[in-house]
Amino acid sequence: MKLKNSLFKYILLGFFAYGVQLPVLAIDFETAFHKAKDNDPKFQAAKHDKDATSGQSLRDITSYAPTFTYNQSQLPTLSVTSRTQTVSQPLFDAVKGASFLQAEPRKKIADANYLVQTHDLALRVFNAMSQIIQTNEAIKANESRLAALESQFQSAKRKYELGQGTITDQLDVQVKYEQAKADDFTLKANLKSARDQFKAIVGEAPNPLDFNLPNKHESFNIRLLDEVLARVEKKNPAILVAQANEKVAKLDVVKASGAVLPTIAYTYQKTVYTNVNAENNGLSITIPLDVGSYIGTYVAHAKSKQSSSTRLETEVKTKVEAERFYQQIEAGQQSLKIKGNAMDIARQSVLANQKSYDAGVKNTTDVLIAIQTLFQARNEYAVSAIQLGGNLLNLLLIGAEDPDEAVIRTQAFLFRK
């Protein structure tokens, strides 16, 4: 084993010594998603927000814990020091009781909000990746278009030299060729912009060979709509956040109402004054009189109603979104098959028109139209495949599937060889 490790080290040193570059590891959707978790600034803020909310939940749990205070004072005119130590254990305090009950929903808010931000990160990585894919596919299609136009130009040139064609045929092809070259510059500029956006999220730019779509995509299966909606209702993180916020808001009403109620606590107090010790213990009752607390009750009631409306809106909106993505996936899979067939037919049409042109049956315009049709068919297929992948990812995330698993399933569809 040691011999093998030593040999491997020498091989690596040999590569570096002779300037041989080792292959760079490819980035796929799953890898990019995991890298983004450690790089994306927005997601880093979500991590800190989770910690803060979890800390607030822990603070709420300790609401009914005993308190200890120490006070020391010395009069400026007398050399007399007074020390007071007080321990108080709440027995009845509506505000602290409501705060204690808010600990559980706050913990749910922390976890669910973090999951919402994880979903958001997956979608942002996908959108950045999809821009790269679309641009790459457009560049490849345009390169094929350039090659076809070059071949057609040479054919038109030969016919003109043999007296079988016209200069107009050459010029028509040349115009289309120059337009395609101009498009190539624009597409490559768009690709650089898409790569920069991807790097800002992931922290690393993809390699030129990353994110290449296969020629055809296979269909995939998803849960039944009723199953998806059931998972949405029970596990969707956005709904869980709205439900937990509603519960916190209702307990805020209790806290606001409790602020005007008396509180009861058991108190032990020890005072040392001029070397005299005094100890007292017993029940202490506090009766608050604060107009602002009464007004706060109305404010809390209004916010509670608002949170209930928000929860209902979130539930309805999320279910509607789930149904929309479900229907788009069903239609998208059928549409992608048709567009794949259309792309094959367009490719055959180009070859047939070129042969017919060489035989003198078709003219240059027919061939140019066929080339342009193939270019559009390829782009439309790539765009449809990316949209279908995006709809799949959205449906899996809305249906409360594990984000890592959702990313893996989306990757398997988009980049399956």
**Rounded distance between C-alpha atoms, residue 119 and residue 101, angstroms:** 29
Residue 278 CB burial class (10 angstroms; 0-12, 13-18, ≥19): exposed
Planar angle of CA 336, 349, 389, nearest 5 degrees? 15
pLDDT at 283: 85
Q: Are strands 81-92 and 263-273 parallel, antiparallel or unpaired?
A: antiparallel
> Residue 275 domain-assigned?
no
> Residue 165 domain-assigned?
yes
pLDDT at 108: 94
> Residue 66 domain-assigned?
no
Residues 322 and 391 sit within 8 Å (Cβ to Cβ)? no
Q: Per-residue b/e over 63-94, b at no fewer than 16 CB within 10 Å?
A: beeeeeeeeeeeeeeeeeeeeeebeeebeebb
Q: Would you write out the chain's pLDDT as a tens digit for each of its 417 residues?
A: 444 444 444 434 443 333 344 344 578 999 999 999 999 999 999 999 999 988 888 888 888 888 888 887 776 655 667 788 888 888 888 888 888 898 999 999 999 999 999 999 999 999 999 999 989 888 887 787 777 777 777 777 777 667 767 777 667 777 887 887 888 888 889 989 999 999 999 999 888 878 888 888 999 999 999 999 999 999 999 999 999 999 999 998 888 888 788 888 888 888 887 777 888 888 888 877 666 666 778 888 899 999 999 999 999 999 999 999 999 999 999 999 999 999 899 888 888 887 887 777 776 677 777 877 888 888 889 899 999 999 999 999 999 999 999 999 999 999 875
Residue 244 belongs to domain spanning:
28-60+104-261+291-415
Residue 151 CB burial class (10 angstroms; 0-12, 13-18, ≥19): middle
| Tally of domains within the chain | 1
pLDDT at 316: 96
**Structural element, H or E, at residue 209:** none
User: What is the CATH classification number for the domain harbouring 307?
Assistant: 1.20.1600.10
**Structural element, H or E, at residue 266:** strand 263-273
**Strand, helix or coil for residue 69:** strand
pLDDT at 181: 83
> Residue 161 domain-assigned?
yes
Residues 356 and 366 sit within 8 Å (Cβ to Cβ)? yes
**Rounded distance between C-alpha atoms, residue 157 and residue 171, angstroms:** 10
End-to-end CA distance of the chain: 36
> Residue 18 domain-assigned?
no
> Residue 84 domain-assigned?
no
Residues 151 and 354 sit within 8 Å (Cβ to Cβ)? yes
Q: Cβ contacts of residue 297 below 8 Å, gap of 6+?
A: 253, 256, 257, 259, 260
- Give the side-chain half-sphere CA count within 13 A for 231: 16
Quick count: other Cβ atoms within 10 Å of Cβ 106? 24
> Residue 159 domain-assigned?
yes
> Residue 5 domain-assigned?
no
